[in-house]
Amino acid sequence: MKLRLSQLLRSRAAGFLAVLLLAATPLLGFMKNATAATSYRGSIQSQGRQRTFVLFAPERGPRKDLPILIMLHGGLGNGSRAAQQTGLADYVDRLGILAIFPDAGGAQWNDGRETTDDGLDDVGFLRILISKAVQTWGGDPSHVFVAGGSNGGIMAQRMACDATDAVTAVGVVSANMAQALGSRCRPSRPIPVILISSTKDRLMPWNGGVTASSPIFGGKGGKVISALDTFNLWSTFDGCPRPEVSDLAGIPVKRHVAAGCQSGSQVVLYEIDGGGHGWPGGKDIRGPIARGMLGEWTNVISASALLIEFFKQYGL
């Protein structure tokens, strides 16, 4: 009992410090310096509530049929911070795409865990946001890519489950499949998925189980399946043959690939040996206490670059 209580307290302390230190981080003028793309702060109505987002469009002006990349922040984060940490807005002019960083309606996305079910229809909100991007900024509804980290990564998987018709492919960083979501997920078609996870993640357990929670600051906890089970589940949904596993030369990363799946889809998992909870290769704006509790971000790979290269195979 003492051991279980000690583990629970450490888990909640990790969530508490993550929230405390990340919430206090300034934006550092990212919208001015991160990219030459034109940025907009906007809002739309969903369920009678105002929902906000930051959008980046190519500087050379609007045009038709721009692929849409939606990046979902982690729990207790926001779209502005996600843009700063991931650097995904830097690809807007380079590739001629729209990059959208929406804000959750509360502390967390309603990602399919029982613990995050606050009554908000985040799937519906993201559908409205996609329509807005198409109507206002020339987005292409046939090329919509949804990525997310942590709570946002689980939410990206919920979009693949519940809004398969609206999403081309998904990218998931530091996030396993929610147990409750996985038990009812029935994608309407095979969908390409890329997953990036660390074996020493202290908030999102590699082997599955209960995620860290902070009742004071809103970390919701909840059960997830393991990272490998998440990979295998998506491989099964996509009708993939037996996956292949290889070591990336010179770095502590394994690449699991299920290719040749139905409708040309594939499922890929990058397994990082070690590393903490965060966005690999991104801008780590945490302090030393948070790093000590959550583990160091790894720079052996770039999650953003891997997502972009994966999505480009499907029309980004």
6: confidence class by pLDDT, cuts 50, 70, 90: very low
Taking 60 as the threshold, does the pLDDT of residue 215 lie above it? no
What's the pLDDT tens digit per position in 143-199? 999 999 999 999 999 999 999 999 999 999 999 999 999 999 999 999 999 999 999
pTM: 0.86
What's the pLDDT tens digit per position in 237-284? 999 999 999 999 999 999 999 999 999 999 999 999 988 888 998 776
What's the pLDDT tens digit per position in 95-153? 999 999 999 999 899 999 999 999 999 999 999 999 999 999 999 999 999 999 999 99
Tokens of 224: 């997830």
Q: Can you give the pLDDT at residue 164?
A: 98
Taking 80 as the threshold, does the pLDDT of residue 56 lie above it? yes
> b/e map of 80-119 (b: 16 or more CB within 10 Å)?
bbbbbbbbbbbbbbebebbbbbbbbbebbbbbbbebbeee
The CATH architecture assigned to 2-312 reads: 3-Layer(aba) Sandwich (3.40)
Taking 60 as the threshold, does the pLDDT of residue 311 lie above it? yes
pLDDT above 70 covers a percentage of the chain that reads 82
Following DSSP, what letter does each residue of 59-103 receive, concatenated? TT---S-EEEEEEE--TT--HHHHHHHH-GGGHHHHHT-EEEEE-
24: confidence class by pLDDT, cuts 50, 70, 90: very low
Is residue 121 a contact partner of residue 135, using CB atoms and an 8 Å limit?
A: no
Residue type, 302: S
Distance CA 195, CA 149 (A): 10
Q: Can you give the pLDDT at residue 23?
A: 31
**2 Cβ neighbours under 8 A, 6+ residues apart:** none
Lowest pLDDT segment from 4-13, 143-152, 236-245, 297-306: 4-13
Report the mean per-residue pLDDT for the chain. Answer: 86
Lowest pLDDT segment from 5-19, 133-147, 214-228, 297-311: 5-19
